[in-house]
Structure 1
Amino acid sequence: MRSNQPVTQQEFAFDENATLMSTTDASSHITYANDVFIKVSGFTPEEINGQPHNIVRHPDMPPEAFADMWATLQQGEPWSALVKNRRKNGDHYWVRANAVPIVRNGQIQGHMSVRTRPAAQEIAQAEELYKEFREGKRKGWRFHKGLLVRTGALRWASLLKTMPLRWRIRSALLALWPLSVAGVWALGLPAQPLAIFSAIMAVLLLLATGWLEQQISRPVERLCKQALSVATGACQQVDQMDRVDEIGTTLRAVGQLGLMFRWLLEDVSGQAVNVMSASDAIAHGNNELSRRTEQAAANVQQTAATMNELTATVKSNTDTAQQVNTLSASTRDAATKGGVVMKDMVGMMAEIADSSKKIANITSVIDGIAFQTNILALNAAVEAARAGEQGKGFAVVAGEVRSLAQRSAKAASEIKSLVENSALKVESGSVHVNDAGKTMEDIVSQVQNVTSLIAQISSATAEQATALSEVSLAVEDLDNITHQNAERVEEGAQAAGRMTHQATRLVEAISVFR
């Protein structure tokens, strides 16, 4: 027998309302185990499915108990007893095992065991009993279909536990025959009438035995067979009986229970398949939605990155526009000042022109004075020549005066020429300065227009930067929402997967009875 080690002798107490259920094939390999059984055993589904059922056998269990279980199940009968099982970590748990064979088309195809938690008193009694069996202290005892019975000469003490109903009836009636004969003999009946009475009683008891077997034991056997069919999920139809007494009604009720059980299995199985199909469709849709959500999240992230870059660019443009606006304002101020200077220069050029005209007038006066002085000098020279020797000195002075007048006239003429040239240049400069002033005025006007446009651009750029910041925040919120949606979709996909798993497990559980 398999010995699973090590053991800790630490009991694992599971919920008293829990039901552990498993099925095996004909070779005792696990084909299905419900979640409670897997949890209590400590194994994973992968570790327990397909393994021999003795993977949970505890070494404290006596081999005689399992030998009795398999012998009972091979006979097609149910078996029930307390069993100590081992968990994966070496701890143990006690169950009341209720095992039945799974019979299909008259062949045993596997076994099903449903376990519940026994009472503490039952556990203590079973612990002591199994210990005595392991130590060989239970000579003259054995297990029979889960019950403890006597063997050997004292086996009769356990007849009431093992005797079939048919033999209970037969033994009861058989006991009546010698008692009735002995009673009549005690009354003094002669031998010949006594023999006749004995024969008649024997015949009557035989007839009564047959009748009671037909009325009680056989119907009860049919009832037992019907109940076993229901327990193993093999009840396809109700075994009818032409009677409506307690046995007939019970047989009908058991058969009806089997049909209701079958209907429930079929209906739940169909609904489970529908749920599984729907959950598969939901899972597929969630997977597709998850893929698209992830793609949308990636697009939103890319958009967010682009918006951040665009925001940075617009912010840089805003700063540049503000700098340009400042420079434009400075240029406007400089151009305005240049216009004022040009106006002042035009005025100065006009004043220079006026001064040139005055100088020209003064030069004309000097030239006239020089001409008169020269005339006078000539006259003085003439008068000095007439005077002779007395006028020589005066003649020299008159010559010097005439020479000075001539040089003054020449200088005045040159000054006049220079003043005229200057006047012409001043006049030309005035024209150019006027043109430059007008051009400067145009420049100032254009600079003001450019400054206004740049101010508008700066304001619009600032508004765009604000709008882009808001759009960037909105994109970030959309990114967060998209990620949250992706998480919710993933949770939905996981929930659909769990639903599919549960539906699959339900179909597997129902298939045990199909």
Structure 2
Amino acid sequence: MRVNAPVTQREYGFDEQATLMSTTDTQSYIKYANQAFMEVSGFEPEEILGQTHNVVRHPDMPPAAFADMWATLKSGEPWSALVKNRRKNGDHYWVRANAIPIIRGDVTKGFMSVRTRPERQEIEAAQKLYATMSEKGESGPDLHKGIVSSKGLGKLLSFWRHMGVRRRIRLNSLALWAVLLIGAWLLTQDQAQFLWGAGFISIALVIMTALLEAQFATPLELLKRQSLNVATGNNRQTESLQRSDEIGTTLRTVNQMGLMFRWLVDDVNQQALNVQNACDEIEQGNAYLHGQTEQLAVNVAQTSASMEQITARVQSSADTAQKAGELASEASAAALRGGQSMEQIVSTMASITANSHRIADIVGVIDSIAFQTNLLALNAAVEAARAGENGRGFAVVAAEVRALAQRSADAAKEIKTLIQASTANIESGSRVVNDAGMNIGEIVSQAQRVASFIAEISKATREQSEEITQVGKSVADMDHLTQQNAQLVTQGTAASSSLQWQVKNLVEAIGVFR
């Protein structure tokens, strides 16, 4: 026998309303187990389904108890007794096991066991019984169809617990026949009368026994057979008994329970098949949605990466535009300062031009003075010639004055020529400077407009950068939500697969009853 370990000897109590149910095939491999069974046993579905039922067997249970269970089930009858089962972690729990074979066409297809929580007094009595059975072995008490049966002389006393109704009637009739014969023997002295009385008593008891068997044993056997058929699912037909007494009413009740059981199995089976089909469709839809969500997640991730690159580039452009704006502002300021300097140069050139004109006027005055001086020198020479010898010295002076006047006139002419040339150059330079001043003014205006445009571009780029950053954040949030959706779809797919697996097991379990 399989020995499961570890064992903690800690008892696990479960809800008294819980019903632990499982089905197995003919080799005791678990085909279905309900949620209550999973929770109390502590096993996961994948750990227990497909395993032999002794996976929950506790080593304190005597092998004779399970030998009796299998002997009873294989005979086609139900078995009920207290069982100590082991949980996955080594703890134990007590159940009242109600096991029954599942028969179709007189062929056993599997076994079903329904367990409930027993009372504390029953548990204590079972502990003592199983301890005694394990300690004494074959000399100790035994189980027969789940009922305690003693060994030796006590076995005769236990014989009545397992006797059928027909045999009970016959034994009671036989005992009554013996008592009546003894009474007749003691009361009758004539042998002939005793023989006639004994014959009458025997015939009367045989008739009474036959009537009792017909009235009680046969209907009860029919009731037992129909009850087993309903319990095992072997027969979907009803049995009739033209009686309205307790036995007849009980048989009709058993028939009604069989019809209800058949309706329940058929209806649940159909609903389970519908759920199974729906689970198949859900699983297919989840598989398709899972693929689409994964593709969407990949696309969103790529979009998010592209948005990050675009954001980085726009940010770089914004920084460049900001630097260009700063440089344009500096260039505009420099051009403005150059314009101011050019205005000063233009003003200075205008002043030089005005001074050159004044110099020309002064040179004209000097030339006029030289001309007047020359005339005076001529007049003085004429007068000196008239004076003769007395005017010779004055004539020399007049000649010198005339020579100086001539030289002054020549110098004035040369200065005038130079002044005119300088004036022309100054005027030309002034026009060039004016033109340069106008051009610089336009440059300053254009530089200011460029700086304004670059500032607007920088502002727009910053706004675009902020908007793209917001878009990137939204895409990142979308990516996060998509990943969450993908996880939820994965969880939904897993849940759908688990549900489909459970529904499949349920359909198989219900199929055992069909």
TM-score normalised to structure 1 length: 0.87
Check whether the contact 2:308–2:472 (CA below 8 A) recurs between aligned residues. Answer: yes
Residues 140 and 277 of structure 1: CA distance in aligned 2, closer, same or farther (over 3 Å): closer
Deviation at 1:128, TM superposition (A): 2.0
Q: In the alignment, is the contact (CA less than 8 A) between 2:104 and 2:235 conserved in 1? A: no
Which amino acid is the alignment partner of residue 405 of structure 1? A
Shift of 1:412: 0.6
Distance (Å, rounded) in 2 between the aligned partners of 1:466 and 1:137: 87
- Post-superposition CA distance 1:280-325 (Å, at most 9, x none): 3223323433443343344334434444444444444444444444
Instruction: Note if 1:415 corresponds to 2:397.
Output: no
C-alpha contact (below 8 Å) 1:34/1:509 kept by paired residues: no
The 5 Å alignment of 1:479-490 reads 479-490=479-490
SS at 1:118's partner residue?
Answer: coil
Alignment of 1:196-207 (within 5 A): 196-207=196-207
Q: What's the Cα RMSD here?
A: 3.3
Separation in structure 2 between the aligned mates of residue 316 and residue 24 of structure 1, nearest angstrom: 72
Q: How does 1:114-513 map to 2 (within 5 A)?
A: 114-136=114-136, 139=139, 141-153=141-153, 155-183=155-183, 188=188, 190-336=190-336, 338-339=338-339, 341-381=341-381, 384=384, 390-513=390-513
Q: Which residue of 1 aligns with 2:80?
A: 80
Alpha-carbon deviations, 1:83-118, whole Å to 9, x = none? 333444544333322222232222233333333332
- The 5-angstrom pairing of residues 59-98 of structure 1 reads 59-98=59-98
Distance (whole Å) between structure 2 residues aligned to residue 219 and residue 468 of structure 1: 90
Q: Secondary structure at the match of 2:136?
A: coil
Taking the aligned partners of 2:479 and 2:421, their CA distance within structure 1 comes to 82
Q: Give the 3-state SS of the residue equivalent to 1:85 in structure 2.
A: strand
**Distance apart, 1:151 and its partner CA:** 4.5
Which SS does the other structure have where 1:512 is aligned?
helix
Q: Secondary structure at the match of 1:135?
A: helix
Q: Report the residue type matching 2:96 in the other structure.
A: R
Distance 2:427 2:86 in 1: 125
Shift of 1:389: 5.6
- Whole-Å Cα distance in 2 between the matches of residues 316 and 251 of structure 1? 92
Conservation of the 8 A alpha-carbon contact between 1:132 and 1:138: no
1:187: how far off? 5.4
Q: 1:136 to 1:460 in 2, by over 3 A?
A: closer
What code does the residue aligned with 2:374 have? N
> Shift of the alpha carbon at 1:406?
1.9
Matched pairs, number:
514
What amino acid does structure 2 have at the position aligned with 1:11? E
In 2, distance between residues paired with 1:329 and 1:297?
A: 46
User: Is the CA contact (8 Å cut-off) linking 1:360 and 1:416 kept in structure 2?
Assistant: yes
1:24 maps to: 24
Q: Is the contact between residue 23 and residue 32 of structure 2 (CA under 8 Å) also seen in structure 1? A: yes
Contact 1:235–1:259 (CA under 8 A) maintained in structure 2: no
2: CA distance between counterparts of 1:249 and 1:364? Answer: 161
TM-score by length of 2: 0.87
Gapped regions of structure 1 (runs ≥ 5): none
On the 8 A contact 1:95/1:115 being kept in 2, the answer is: yes
Q: 1:428-476 CA deviation, whole Å, 9 max, x = no partner?
A: 2333233334333433443343344334334433443443344344334
CA-CA distance at 1:413 after TM superposition: 0.8
The amino acid across from 1:418 in the alignment is L
8 Å CA contact retained: 2:31, 2:508:
no
The answer for the alignment partner of 2:105 in structure 1 is 105
Query: Taking structure 1 as reference, are residues 2 and 318 closer, same or farther at Cα in structure 2, changes over 3 Å only?
Result: closer
Partners of 2:96 and 2:117 within 8 A in 1: yes
**Preserved contact between residue 374 and residue 401 of structure 2 (Cα < 8 Å):** yes
Spell out structure 1 runs of 4+ moving beyond 6 A: none
Distance 2:6 2:307 in 1: 65
Structure 1: distance between partners of 2:462 and 2:6: 78
Any idea what SS the aligned residue of 1:243 has?
coil
The residue identity in structure 1 corresponding to 2:126 is: A
When residues 150 and 301 of structure 1 are mapped into structure 2, their CA distance, relative to the original with a 3 A threshold, is closer
Would the aligned equivalents of 2:105 and 2:235 in 1 still touch at CA under 8 Å?
no
Distance in 1 separating the partners of 2:492 and 2:137: 61
**Counterpart of 1:234 in 2: which secondary structure?**
coil
Q: In 2 relative to 1, CA 505–28 (structure 1 residues): closer, same or farther, beyond 3 Å? A: closer
Compared CA separation, residues 251 and 458, structure 1 to 2 (3 A): same
Percentage of identical aligned residues: 55
Instruction: Name the stretch that deviates more: 74-83 or 7-16.
Output: 7-16
Deviations 1:189-231 (A, max 9, x none): 8543443343233223223322322222122112111111222
CA contact (8 A) 1:100 1:111 kept: yes
Counterpart of 1:237, as a letter, is Q
Aligned partners of 1:312 and 1:237: how far apart in 2?
81
Structure 1 pair 265–339 and aligned structure 2 pair: CA distance change class (3 A): same
* Counterparts in 2 of 1:363 and 1:14: CA distance versus 1, 3 Å: same
The code of the aligned residue for 1:104 comes to R
1:136 is paired with a residue of what secondary structure? Answer: helix
Q: Distance in 2 between matches of 1:131 and 1:194?
A: 56
Distance 1:327 1:401, change over 3 A: same
Q: Which runs of 5+ in 2 are unaligned?
A: none
Relative to structure 1, the CA distance from residue 423 to residue 60 in structure 2 (aligned partners, 3 Å threshold; closer, same or farther) is: closer
Contact 2:360 2:420 in 1 (8 A): yes
Shift of 1:166: 0.4
For 2:127, the aligned partner's letter is E
Q: CA deviation at 1:415?
A: 0.6
